[in-house]
Amino acid sequence: MSARTVVFAGGGTGGHLFPGLAICESLREAEAETRCVFVCSDRPLDAQILSANAAEYRPIPARPFGMSPRRLIPFLRSWGVSVRSARAVLRDVRPSWVIAMGGFVAAPVVQAARCERVAVALVNLDAAPGLANRWIARHARVCFTSAEGRMPAHWRRIPPIVRAAAKASRPAAACRAAFGLDPSRKTLLVTGGSQGARSLNEFVTAFAEAEANLLRERGWQIIHQTGERGDIAACDAYRRAGVPARVEKFLDDMASAWGAADLAVSRCGAGAVAEIWANAVPALLLPYPYHKDEHQRLNAKVLADCGGAVMARDHVEASRNMAAHREALAGLIRDDARREAMRASILGLGPADGASRVAAELMKGPFGAAGGTFPG
C-alpha cells in the first residue's frame, strides 16, 4: 500500500499550526509513512514554525476577510490566486484528507478541495467559531471541536489538541536549567502566544519592577515570550528589578517552558489553553480584549470554572492592569498551597489527547484500514 498523504490547511498564527502538527504526529504514530503537507500563509512566522518542526509546507498568498476596504480589497485580490495555488498543491500531492485548522488560510484551501473532490475535516478549537470555520463546516465531512458551549449536535467533541513538543517530559529543575536559569527557583512563564502581546508584556514588566522585593524574597524567576517587539524593554525592566529572567521573542522549546513553570500569565487562545491544560500549570489568564465574539474568554472558561486559572479583563494600559490585577498576581506568587490546588483542579480535567482521537477517527475514513467513506 502506498504512503498516505494528508494536507493541513491553516496558518497566520501558531494557534492554526501547532494543533495540525500534533495531529500529524498522531497520524504518523498510527502509520509511520503518512505524508503531511501544510498549506499555510506567506507570513514569516509560518515558515519559522514549520521549518523548526521539519514540516513540509507550501505557502499561499491568502489574506484575512474583512468588510473595511483596507481588508476587503486584499482579500478579494488574493482569493482567486490562493484557490488556484491550493488546487495545484492538491493535484500534486493527491491527499486523502484536507484537514482545515481554521482561519483565513483554510477557507481557500477548502474551496480548492471542493473543486478537486477531496474530503474535508474541520478542526475547530475556539469556543466561538469564526466566519471561515462556519463556512467550512458546511462543506466538511466531519467536524471536531474541543470547545465548550453551544456547538452543532453533529460536531464531534474531543479533548484539547497539544503537540508533544509542548508537553513537559522531564523534571522542572532540568527544564529551568535548559533556559540557563536556577533549577531551584520557582518560575513564572509569560506568553502572549506565538505573536506576543504588548499589554501582557507591559503589565508583567511593570509588576516585576513594582513587586521586585516580593519576587526576590520568594525566590522567583521569569521566562518571557514577548513576540517580535518588546524583548529589549522586558530585558531592561527585569534588569532594573534585579529579577532573573530569560526573555525571548519566540520560544521554540515550549515543553521546557511549561515544564519549568509554577505559574503562567497568558492569553487564552485555544492553543494556549490546551497547553496549560496538558501541563497543569496554574495561570492568570487575560483574554485578548478586541475580539467582538470574546472567544478567548470563552476558551478560558473551562480552566476558570474548574479552579485551575484566574481569568481577568485586559485593560490594555499597564497602569490600569496594575491597578486591577497587581494583587491577584502577587497573591498567586505568595500562595504555594493555592497553586497546588489549582494544578490538581486542572489534572482533574483528564488528558489533553485530542490529537490521537482525531487521528483515530480519520483513520476510519478515506484511507483507514476499513476503507470507504467517513462514517456518520
**Residue 370 pLDDT exceeds 50:** no
Average pLDDT, the chain: 92
Same domain for 117 and 202, yes or no, is no
Same domain for 27 and 79, yes or no, is yes
Which pLDDT belongs to residue 196?
61
**Residue 84 pLDDT exceeds 70:** yes
**Residue 176 pLDDT exceeds 90:** yes
SS3 248: strand
Which pLDDT belongs to residue 369?
34
Same domain for 144 and 238, yes or no, is no
Q: Is residue 370 a part of any domain in this protein?
A: no
How many angstroms separate the CA atoms of 274 and 324, rounded? 26
Same domain for 155 and 176, yes or no, is no
How many angstroms separate the CA atoms of 49 and 16, rounded? 11
How many angstroms separate the CA atoms of 376 and 374, rounded? 7
Q: Which domain holds residue 206?
A: 166-347
State how beta strands 97-100 and 56-59 pair.
Answer: unpaired
Which pLDDT belongs to residue 95?
96
Site of grid cell 488528558? 351
Smallest Cα–Cα separation from 317: which of 285, 289, 283, 284? 289
Pinpoint the alpha helices (H) of the chain: 18-30, 44-52, 69-93, 106-116, 131-137, 172-178, 198-210, 212-217, 231-241, 254-260, 270-279, 295-306, 318-334, 336-347, 354-362
**Residue 375 pLDDT exceeds 70:** no
Smallest Cα–Cα separation from 191: which of 240, 263, 291, 290? 263
Q: Quote the distance between the C-alpha of residue 291 and its chain's center.
A: 16
pLDDT digits (tens, 9 = 90+) for 99-120: 999 889 999 999 999 999 999 9
Which pLDDT belongs to residue 366?
60
Q: Is residue 369 a part of any domain in this protein?
A: no
Q: Is residue 320 a part of any domain in this protein?
A: yes
Average the pLDDT over each of 35-49, 72-86, 152-166 and give the range with the smallest value: 152-166
Beta partners for 187?
221
Same domain for 20 and 150, yes or no, is yes
**Residue 185 pLDDT exceeds 60:** yes
Same domain for 146 and 245, yes or no, is no
Which pLDDT belongs to residue 195?
61
Domain count, the chain: 2
**108, 86 contact by CB (below 8 A):** yes
DSSP assignment of 306-362: HTSEEE----SSHHHHHHHHHHHHHHHHH-HHHHHHHHHHHHTT----HHHHHHHHH
pLDDT band per the 50, 70, 90 thresholds, residue 350: very high
Q: Is residue 57 a part of any domain in this protein?
A: yes
Q: Is residue 295 a part of any domain in this protein?
A: yes
Same domain for 246 and 338, yes or no, is yes
Same domain for 14 and 155, yes or no, is yes
**257, 222 contact by CB (below 8 A):** no
Q: Is residue 63 a part of any domain in this protein?
A: yes
Same domain for 243 and 308, yes or no, is yes
Q: Is residue 340 a part of any domain in this protein?
A: yes
CATH of the domain at 305: 3.40.50.2000
Same domain for 181 and 321, yes or no, is yes
Average pLDDT of span 84-99: 97
**Residue 371 pLDDT exceeds 50:** no
Which pLDDT belongs to residue 194?
60
DSSP assignment of 144-156: EE---S---TTSE
Record the pTM. Answer: 0.83
Q: Is residue 374 a part of any domain in this protein?
A: no
**235, 246 contact by CB (below 8 A):** no
Same domain for 16 and 136, yes or no, is yes
Same domain for 239 and 319, yes or no, is yes
Cell representation of residue 229: 517587539
